[in-house]
């Protein structure tokens, strides 16, 4: 019997919008029974959580055209302890944006490149208050990521 795959969802929310997106992503991921999904706020996630995962979902609001300070703090705390230990880790990003979200996507992508991670999906950007269609897309993202892990695609 093979070991269960682990999916880690790390997010930050201030207004609640990114939290709603994270809830949708987690619901989708948890539809895949063969994968264990852990959901942590960025300030609560650390090196051990990151090293224990087989796939990563990241959620952030767009703050001043950038990712949240909490997600950046997560990266700052984990980068050197995890350096060269997570090469090829599949990840996906979702952004709650007040503007276009491109700055947050660009900067998270640069950091992910530094870790050696590989994007498993296109970034999901939701502008403004999440509508039901946005939450459906979040569930699809979570389910696709978990399915990819379960099937060994990632």
Can you give the pLDDT at residue 1? 42
Q: Residue 120: which domain range?
A: 5-150
How many structural domains does the chain have? Answer: 1
Query: What pLDDT is attached to residue 137?
Result: 99
Contacts of 101 by beta carbon, 8 Å cutoff, 6+ apart: 62, 95, 123, 125, 127
Consecutive 10-residue runs of the chain (154 residues): their mean pLDDT?
87 96 99 98 98 98 95 98 97 96 97 98 96 98 98 94
The pLDDT, as a whole number, for residue 49 is 98
pTM of the entire structure? 0.96
For residues 66 and 130, what is the distance between their CA atoms, to the nearest angstrom?
A: 19
**Cα–Cα distance between 81 and 146 in angstroms, integer?**
26
DSSP letter string, 64-132: TTB--HHHHHHHHHHHHHHTTTSTT-EEEEEEEESS--HHHHHHHHHHHHHHT-EE-SPPEEEESSPPH
Domain containing 9 — which CATH number?
3.40.50.360
**Residues 6 or more apart in contact with residue 7 via CB below 8 angstroms:** 29, 35, 36, 37, 38, 53, 54, 55, 56, 57, 145, 146, 149
The token pair that represents 141 in the structure block: 């993202």
47 by Cβ neighbours in 10 Å (0-12 / 13-18 / 19+) ranks as middle
pLDDT tens digits, 128-146:
999 999 999 999 999 999 9
Task: Write down the mean pLDDT value for the chain.
Answer: 96
Q: Which residue has the tokens 């919008």?
A: 17
Q: How far apart are CA 126 and CA 147, in angstroms?
A: 23
Q: Which pLDDT score, from 0 to 100, does residue 2 have?
A: 59
Distance of CA 29 to the CA centre of its chain: 11
């Amino acid at each position: 019997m093979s070991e269960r795959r682990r999916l880690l969802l790390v997010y930050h929310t201030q207004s609640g919008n990114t939290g709603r997106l994270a809830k949708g992503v987690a619901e989708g991921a948890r539809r895949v029974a063969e994968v264990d999904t852990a959901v942590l706020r960025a300030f609560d996630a650390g090196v051990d959580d990151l090293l224990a995962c087989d796939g990563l979902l990241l959620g952030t609001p767009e703050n001043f055209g950038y990712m949240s300070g909490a997600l950046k703090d997560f990266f700052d705390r984990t980068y050197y302890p995890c350096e060269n230990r997570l090469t090829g880790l599949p990840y996906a990003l979702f952004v709650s944006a007040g503007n276009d979200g491109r700055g947050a996507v660009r900067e998270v992508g640069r950091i992910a490149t530094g870790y050696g991670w590989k994007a498993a999906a296109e970034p999901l950007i939701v502008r403004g208050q999440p509508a039901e269609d946005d939450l459906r897309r979040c569930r699809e993202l979570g389910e696709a990521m978990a399915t990819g892990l379960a099937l060994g695609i990632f």
